[in-house]
Amino acid sequence: MDAFQPSNRPIDEQNVFCQAIDTHITRAFEGEPYIKAFSSKAVVERLKSYNDGHVLKAFDYIKRSIPPAGTLSKENEVAAYQQYFFENPAWLPWLLNLSEATLQADAVLFPFLVTLNQFSLDDRGIFYNRTFGRIAFLLVDINTGKLIWARASSGQILTPSNAPQKMAEDITGKKEKDQGLKSSIALGQKLLTTQLWLGYPGFIGELNSSIKSQE
């Protein structure tokens, strides 16, 4: 099976994309009576202060066992979680420490930016930039490490571009960077839809309304 290409967008652009994901999650769960959660920022702050930050450092250690995106097959986030997280002996103890740091939380939602790429396409002399991305969400039972729910979304944005020679000249320029960032933001808006949350435990009508009000 084909593999995802490793992300080739600048790290600051990837960070903006990830921040958009975090914002979407926070807004999506606002007003949900059956879903009580910490924001990702609040979780990080709690982990920094818990046990001298060792929990955060341990997660960095666990992440080192994950291969690059280019070696992972498409649409296998669940299988990847099983292999590189669930079967890691350090994973369940880490989850239990996470629970202690977050007032005995019983589940954790992990958002992943699987890949974010941009390539030049030549359609019979008409040049485009193709921005492709995939995001995945995994809801994990903290007490067992097993997956409760998983969902992924992928898509692309096509935007007109200059000819390859001109693109080569502008590749490090502000104009090219700004356009790449705009394309990534537009792609994020396309991927972060209400469909992502179908079947999420505790899902009720207010969840749909919350997301739609922010679109």
**Which pLDDT belongs to residue 171?**
41
- Tally of helices (H runs) and strands (E runs) in the chain: 8, 3
List, in sequence order, every residue forming a beta bridge with 159; answer none if it has no partner: 129
pLDDT at 129: 84
Query: Quick check: helix, strand or coil at residue 60?
Result: helix
Quote the pTM value: 0.78
Which positions ≥6 away from 105 have C-beta within 8 Å?
38, 98, 99, 142
CA distance 90 to 93: 6
Query: What are the angstrom distances between the C-alpha of 214 and each of 25, 29, 111, 160, 181?
Result: 11, 12, 19, 28, 20
Q: What pLDDT score was predicted for residue 69?
A: 53
> How high is the pLDDT of residue 72?
53
Helix (H) or strand (E) holding 56: helix 54-63
Q: Look at residue 166 in the predicted model and tell me its pLDDT.
A: 44
CA distance 201 to 141: 12
Q: pLDDT tens digits, the chain, 215 residues: what are they? A: 344 567 888 888 888 888 888 888 888 777 777 787 888 888 888 888 888 878 888 887 777 777 665 455 555 788 888 888 999 999 999 999 999 988 889 999 998 888 888 888 877 777 888 888 888 899 999 999 999 999 988 898 888 876 444 444 444 444 555 666 788 888 888 888 777 887 889 866 444 444 444 44
Distance CA 133, CA 72 (A): 15
Cβ atoms of residues 110 and 138 within 8 Å: yes
